[in-house]
Structure 1
Amino acid sequence: MDRELLASDVNRACRLQGQFQLRSGQISHEYFDKYLFESDPQLLRRVCEAMVPLVPADTDLLGGLELGGVPLATVLSQLTGIPTLFVRKAAKTYGTCRLAEGADIAGKTITLVEDVITTGGAVRDAAGALRSEHATVSTVICAINRSTDPVNVLRDVALTVRAVLMKADLDHVS
């Protein structure tokens, strides 16, 4: 895989300039609109192919976070053969009332799959919720880590972040 070419293609597809409020509440002059690369089948596949070697060997389930992590986890599941979970932001209040749709998670090792991480708020919430249902969650794989402290962004909740691309990779090719 040509990492610089992938960074260039992702950057060209999804970096927007302007003023944007992030999930964390922070204001940014740029935004990585992941849906612009996730909706391109070839680019989505290339990002997921780059994720394959990042998946820990002990992974039982891939947990795609609502909404942007779902297409990534689905394609990654196809490439690895590891079953996928679809992790909601909150448990639904009807039907099964589940937080995670798919296989039973109790006692399973789940690797979370996210699109873009800045502060890690959604990942932090999902990991806590899955752990409260007796799952083991210690790793998150993301397409883009744009955190100002990419090494420590989720260390406070004992999560290792493995990223396909760092913001610096995208800045380098822009």
Structure 2
Amino acid sequence: MADLTVRLTETACVSAPFKLSDGTHLSTYFDEFRLASDPALLHDTARALADLVPTNAQALAGIELGGIPLVVALSAATGLPAVFVRRLPKLYGSHRQIEGADITGLRTVLVDDVVRSGSQLLTMARTLRMTGSPITDAVCILERPLGGRQTLAEHRVTLHSLLTEADLPVRQAGDAA
């Protein structure tokens, strides 16, 4: 695991200006696209994430956009069917918010790259629960200590993270992915 942490840090932890959707500015961030574009690293990360997927899981749900390449790789590593969840329904074509396998009634695990506050995963858990998919777990690559684990737990979702901020090299105060 130590080697994977080093590889993830070297490849995906970027020191550059970055603006989050809430307007917060960061000087370092986790770039999931650098991870997803490295086939060997994506494969190894998916195999490590597979160990975090509960044994009773029946399906996986990748969250737009960072969770999509991860859920594809994790589906291949686990053999579980996958769906892809948009924040909003598509405005053309299928008009769907959830694409992929039929997971109605299946114990589904949410998949995302970074968890901060947990609000995005919580929104997606609600969406999937409304379709009849029990959601009790979520997996991510990186967990930042911004309350996400607690928020999810309050809504009966257990977070399983591959890495936490403490696993990364020391950064300046205020930096986050």
Counterpart of 1:97, as a letter, is H
2:146 alignment partner in structure 1: 148
What secondary structure does 2:150 align onto? coil
Q: Give the C-alpha shift of residue 151 in structure 1.
A: 4.0
CA distance in 2, matches of 1:117, 1:50: 17
Shift of 1:45: 0.8
What are the Cα deviations for residues 8-54 of structure 1, in whole angstroms up to 9, with x where unaligned? 11111111224422234433332111111111001111111101111
- Residues 14-163 of structure 1 correspond to what in structure 2 (within 5 A)? 14-149=12-147, 151-163=149-161
Q: Output the CA distance in 2 between the equivalents of 1:157 and 1:25.
A: 26
Shift of 1:106: 2.2
Deviations 1:92-123 (A, max 9, x none): 13333221111223212110110111112221
> Is the CA contact 1:138–1:159 (under 8 Å) kept in the aligned structure 2?
yes
Q: Which amino acid aligns with 1:31?
A: Y
Q: Is the deviation greater in 150-159 or in 133-142? A: 150-159
Task: Kindly state the Cα deviation for residue 150 of structure 1 after the two structures are TM-superposed.
Answer: 5.9
- Give identity over the alignment, percent: 34
Equivalent position of 2:10 in the other structure: 12
The match for 2:165 among 158, 162, 167 is: 167
Runs of 4 or more consecutive aligned structure 1 residues displaced over 6 Å after TM superposition: none
TM-score, length basis structure 1: 0.89
Partner secondary structure for residue 141 of structure 2: strand
CA distance in 2, matches of 1:106, 1:112: 14
Distance, in Å, in 1 between the alignment partners of 2:44 and 2:11 is 13
Gaps of 5+ in 2: 172-177
Aligned partner letter, 1:122: Q
Q: Deviations over 1:52-80 (max 9, x none)?
A: 11111221211011111111111111111
Contact 1:38 1:72 in 2 (8 A): yes
Matches of 1:32 and 1:62, distance apart in 2: 22
> Given that residues 20 and 31 in structure 1 are in contact (C-alpha distance below 8 angstroms), is that contact kept between their aligned partners in structure 2?
yes
Matches of 1:146 and 1:63, distance apart in 2: 21
Structure 1 residue matching 2:168: 3-state secondary structure: helix
TM value normalised by structure 2: 0.87
CA offset at residue 153 of structure 1?
A: 4.4
